Amino acid sequence: MAALTPTQLDLLVTKLKEEYQILLREVRGELENSGNQHRIDLLNNEPGDSGDESMAVALADFNLTILDRHIDAIRDIEAALKRVKDGGYGVCTDCGVDIAFPRLQAYPTAKRCIACQEKREGNFAHEGHPKM
């Protein structure tokens, strides 16, 4: 488990769920525009309420390219909430260090610490990084 206090974790989970709701509202709007009203009931779930069923997977069935960006974001949030449940939230998936709280505040869905993220993006922030 990351070095987050229960209060910090609570705050981040709240943030994730808020973002999730905002995304769902936008998706709902898109679906209304595209004539998929009858499937909007699907979107009235809270994250985690539907057990194993992923909202991202359900939405992918709509096959609307306009939703792709939203689906990616929703998938990220679902993955983050799953990590909260599994106890892996806030730990870098690449190197295993605790991700700093300010970074999680800015990017609640962050999977990597800043060092690993920069490495991934090809921006070497530190000179003399050991070569593997």
Q: Out of 1, 3, 66, 95, which residue is the one contacting Zn ion (CB under 5 A)?
A: 95
Smaller CB distance to Zn ion: residue 48 or 88? 88
Q: Residues 36-55 vs Zn ion: string with x where CB under 5 A?
A: --------------------
Binding status of residue 94 toward Zn ion by CB under 5 A = yes
DSSP secondary structure, 6-51, as one string: HHHHHHHHHHHHHHHHHHHHHHHHHHHHTT-GGGGGGGGPPTTTTT
In sequence order, what are the residues at sequence separation of 6 or more whose Cβ sits closer than 8 angstroms to the Cβ of residue 40? 28, 31, 32
Q: How many chain residues interact with Zn ion (CB under 5 A)?
A: 5
Candidates 9-17, 25-33, 42-50, 108-116; binding stretch for Zn ion (CB under 5 A): 108-116
Binding status of residue 116 toward Zn ion by CB under 5 A = yes
Smaller CB distance to Zn ion: residue 66 or 125? 125
Query: Ramachandran region of residue 48, left (φ > 0), alpha (ψ -120 to 50) or beta?
Result: left
- Over its C-alpha atoms, the chain yields an Rg (Å, rounded) of 17
The residues that touch Zn ion, with contacts defined as CB under 5 A, are 92, 94-95, 113, 116
